[in-house]
Amino acid sequence: TSNSPEAHHRAPPLAVPAPLLADSPPFLDAGDRQVGVLLTLAQPRLVVFANLLAPEECDALIAAAAPRMARSLTVATQTGGDEITDDRTSDGLFFPRGASPLIQRIEGRQVLHYGPGAEYKPHYDYFDPAEPGTPTIVRRGGQRVGTLVMYLNTPEKGGGTIFPDVQVEVAPQRGNAVFFSYERPDPSTRTLHGGAPVIAGDKWIATKWLREREFI
Ligand code: PD2
Ligand code: ZN
C-alpha cells in the first residue's frame, strides 16, 4: 500500500451470490423449469431472467398476498427502525420463510403492489456504512449483497425497474425477473435503481434481498 493521499483503501469485496453463467447458457435448469437468460450486464452486475416463475405461481402469490397488504416501509438508516416515506408508495407484505408450500418453493419473498402513480424512487438496496443505524441493521444476516425482483404481472404502462447510472430500464413482464448484485456497499457498484411510476394499470412484484449470511 502507498502512503500517498490519493491511495484508495477500499474494503475487500464481499462474496456475492451469482447465477452460473460462465459458459453463456441460454437457459438455466431450475429443477422443475427452464429459466431463460435474456440479458447480462457486467457493470452493474445484472441479469434479466425469463420464465423464473410460472404464470400460476405469479397468480397464486398475488392471491395469497392481496388480502393482507399494507403500506411499504423503508429501513430508517438513522435508527435502524422502519418508516413510511414518499420515496416508496407501494403496498407490501413479507411472507415468513416457509409460510406455505408455494412460499417454500419461491422462498422468503416480499410481495409488493404499486397502484397507478406509485413508484419507488432510485435508491441502493445495501445499507450505507456511513449511517448510524447500519451496524444495528447488519447485525441480522450482514449486508445485503444482491436483489432479485420478480414481476408477478405485466402493468399496462410504466412500472419498469430503472438503473439511472447506466440508463437501463427493465420491462416488467409476468414471470420474468431482474437480479443484480453489489460486492461492496458503494455507489461504484452502479446499482442505483428504482421502480418507475406505474402509468396505467397496476404492478405486482416479489422482491428477494440476499444477505451475506442467513437472515434469522
Ligand atoms: O418495483 C421495482 O421495480 C423495484 C425497484 C427498486 C423494487 C425495489 N427496488 C425493491 O424492492 O428494492
Ligand atoms: Zn430496491
- Of the residues 153, 207, 210, 211, which should be mutated to test ligand 1's pocket, given the most ligand atoms within 8 Å of the CB? 207
- The reported pLDDT for the residue numbered 8 is 64
- What is the 88 CA–ligand 1 centroid distance (Å)? 9
Instruction: Assign 113 to helix, strand or coil.
Output: strand
Q: How many CA atoms lie within 13 A of 152 on its CB side?
A: 24
194 lines ligand 1 (CB under 6 A): yes
207 lines ligand 1 (CB under 6 A): yes
DSSP letter string, 128-197: PTTSTTHHHHHTTT--EEEEEEEE-S--SEE--EEETTTTEEE---TT-EEEEE-SSSSGGG---EEEPP
Instruction: Compute the distance between CA of residue 142 and CA of residue 134 in angstroms, rounded to an integer.
Output: 10
H helix intervals, 27-75: 55-65
Beta pairing partners, 41: 46
Using an 8 Å Cβ cutoff, are 201 and 155 in contact?
yes
pLDDT in tens, 194-215: 999 999 999 999 999 999 998 8
Using an 8 Å Cβ cutoff, are 108 and 174 in contact?
no
Using an 8 Å Cβ cutoff, are 56 and 152 in contact?
no
Atom of ligand 1 nearest to the CA of 196: 3
Element (H, E) at 19: none
- Give CA angle at 155 (145, 66), nearest 5°: 75
Instruction: Assign 63 to helix, strand or coil.
Output: helix
Does this model's pTM top 0.85? My answer is yes
- The reported pLDDT for the residue numbered 1 is 47
Going by pLDDT thresholds of 50, 70 and 90, the confidence category of residue 7 is low
pLDDT in tens, 81-133: 899 999 999 999 999 888 888 888 887 677 889 999 999 999 999 999 999 99
For atom 5 of ligand 1, the residue with the nearest CA is 195
Mean pLDDT for the chain?
Answer: 92
Please name which ligand lies nearest the alpha carbon of 125: 2
Largest interatomic CA distance in the chain = 59
Atom of ligand 1 nearest to the CA of 147: 12
Instruction: Assign 62 to helix, strand or coil.
Output: helix
* Residue that the C-alpha cell 444482491 belongs to: 146
134: its cell numbers: 447500519
125 lines ligand 1 (CB under 6 A): yes
Is pLDDT above 90 for 139? yes
For atom 12 of ligand 1, the residue with the nearest CA is 125
- Rounded to the nearest angstrom, the gap between the alpha carbon of residue 128 and the centroid of all alpha carbons in its chain is 16
For atom 7 of ligand 1, the residue with the nearest CA is 195
